[in-house]
Amino acid sequence: MPTLSLMPTEFTVVRNEEKCIKCLACVRQCGFEAQQYDAEDDRLYAIDANCVNCQRCVSICPAGALTIYKNPPPLRPHAFWTENHLRNIAKQAETGGVLLTGMGNDQPFPAYFDRLLLNASQVTNPSIDPLREPMELRTYLGRRPEPGAKTRTPLVPIATPIMFSAMSYGSISHEAFASLARAAKEFDTMFNTGEGGLPGDLYEYADHAVVQVASGRFGVHADYLNAGRIVEIKIGQGAKPGIGGHLPGEKITAPVAATRMIPEGTDALSPAPHHDIYSIEDLKQLIFTLKEATRYQKPVSVKVSAVHNVAAIASGIARAGADIIAIDGFRGGTGAAPTMIRDHVGIPIELAIAAVDQRLRDEGIRNQVSLVAAGGFRSSADVVKAIALGADAVYIATAALIALGCHLCQKCYTGKCSWGIATQDPYRSRRLNPEIGAERLYNLLRGWSHEIKEMLGGMGINSIESLRGNRLHLRGVGLNEVELKLLGVKHAGEAM
């Protein structure tokens, strides 16, 4: 490591000495050793180079004495050679490595959710007040029986069309994982185990778990599959389509190792593809292997990243026997991904939902499968728009982590998370009390669900299934004709 960094630090920690009472909470809470105390001089100071702007110290400081500033760009402004590029190049010149990052794509690609507007009733039909009239959000996931069919696959009801997306134990702390599990059970929706298995002490929440089977097969065994409510085959994730996973050995603590069924301290490597799935017919075999293993009592979901050919892929998945198709858009988060992959691979979830829903309808098989969308749902309005575009339900993960304290510093891959989320260090993880975490997640679901009811009522609808695929309630603003066509919506100002 060269001793001299060519780049100035990204953030500056400013302490208001007038306010600071030297309680040292910031020093004790900083996960990145940016906050320091010199006992000899009784002096607090900051190592700015270590600061990742996770805001833990700012939030915890009882005196409100701390502010973190983003330093101005290091060089003269350049629209092409942006600060990001310069920093990345300097970093790589120092290390020779692949750039790593965490959470989802943070680049300024268009957010189609922000270019879609919702409808409301006026005069010709009444809007409905959710405080006075029943307003139904219950959603069933699973394969719909065809008329006259003799066999039925099980259906899974959720109280709101919002589930927690896959985050594995190992990538997040036991405390964060338990918070998700508890909140899902209390709200009667689902959480997703991710690819790292289900810790033994959380099996009481398994009836609200989507248990994932990924290319590494970590923690997969018969009891695990049969304990969960839905089994999900993870082919890809939105943050890193086409890329496997790598959980470094230092995060494989004894409990993580036991859950994943691998030796403690060894790296957990998920191959990029499933090595038993090189084609669609292989996927069908795995789907039915899992159905056999669970005696056809669990719907099987297949999760793929939103890539260019996602509509055809989804159709193939439906025909391969999956009961649920989960699609993860390019804004989806991750614990660790190569920056170039995260920021440059995949397509927006809005377009993916529209394309998949339309394709399945064109083929007359939309009603057979449930469509779950993931990757970048920031508010209940995003959820409503996704459902109007054609999704049955959505997965949220980044929003859930933000509810738990995450401030999107994007340093999950370091394992030093100051908020106790993306870490296996007991000193850090115990600051996330699952009691509080579950309450905050429950509140988020409650708030969003209520807002969804308000929006439905405004449209004159009292059941979520009347919104599903109802693109007439959407209008685009500032979208070109190709975008409008792909989304299947009219432009704002056009009549019904």
The contact set with another protein (CB under 8 A) reads 19, 21-25, 28-29, 60, 62-63, 121, 124-126, 128, 133-134, 136, 138, 140, 144-145, 147-148, 152, 155, 361, 364, 366-367, 388, 420, 425-427, 430-433, 435-436, 459-463, 465-473, 495-496
How are strands ordered across the β-sheet holding 116-118?
116-118, 474-476, 490-491
CA distance 229 to 191: 10
The pair of three-digit structure tokens given for residue 155, joined into one six-digit string: 């259906």
Query: Smallest distance from the beta carbon of 35 to another protein, in angstroms?
Result: 12
- Judged by beta carbon, residue 133 or residue 207, the one nearer another protein is 133
Q: How far is the CB of 135 from another protein (least distance, A)?
A: 10
Taking the least distance from each CB to another protein, the nearer of 195 and 323 is 323
Residue 65 or 374 having the CB closest to another protein: 65
CB of 146 to another protein, least distance (A): 9
Least distance from C-beta 65 to another protein, angstroms? 10
Least CB distance from residue 362 to another protein, whole Å?
8
Quick one: 283 or 474, whose CB is closer to another protein?
474
Secondary structure of the chain as H, E, C letters: CCCCCCCCCCEEEEECCCCCCCCCHHHHHCCCCCEEEECCCCEEEECHHHCCCCCHHHHHCCCCCEEEEECCCCCCCCCCCCHHHHHHHHHHHHHCCCCEECCCCCCCCCCHHHHEEECCCCCCCCCCCCCCCCCECCEEECCCCCCCCCCCCCCEEECCCEEECECCECCECHHHHHHHHHHHHHHCCCEECHHHCCCHHHHHHHHHEEEEECCCCCCCCHHHHHHCCEEEEECCCCCCCCCCEEECHHHCCHHHHHHHCCCCCCCEEECCCCCCCCCHHHHHHHHHHHHHHCCCCCCEEEEEECCCCHHHHHHHHHHCCCCEEEEECCCCCCCCEEHHHHHHCCCCHHHHHHHHHHHHHHCCCHHHCEEEEECCCCCHHHHHHHHHHCCCEEEECHHHHHHHCCCCCCCHHHCCCCCCCCCCCHHHHCCCCHHHHHHHHHHHHHHHHHHHHHHHHHHCCCEHHHCCCCHHHEEECCCCHHHHHHHCCEECCCCC
Report the distance separating Cα 178 and Cα 158, nearest Å.
19
Nearer to another protein, 30 or 336 (CB): 30
Question: In this complex, which beta carbon is closest to another protein, that of residue 12 or of residue 463?
Answer: 463
Nearer to another protein by C-beta: 31 or 329? 31
Min. distance of Cβ 185 from another protein in angstroms? Answer: 19
Comparison of 115 and 471: residue with beta carbon closer to another protein:
471
Which is closer to another protein, CB of 19 or CB of 275? 19
CB of 463 to another protein, least distance (A): 6
Identity of the residue, 240 or 428, whose beta carbon is nearer to another protein in the bound complex: 428
Shortest distance, CB of residue 342 to another protein, whole angstroms?
30
C-beta of residue 418 within 8 angstroms of C-beta of residue 30: yes
Angle formed at CA 392 by CA 288 and CA 176, multiple of 5 degrees? 80
Tokens 């017919």, located at residue:
281
Smallest distance, Å, CB 117 to another protein? 15
Query: To the nearest whole angstrom, how small is the minimum distance from the Cβ of residue 188 to another protein?
Result: 12
Of the pair 22, 407, the CB lying nearest another protein is at: 22
Shortest Å distance, C-beta 100 to another protein: 26
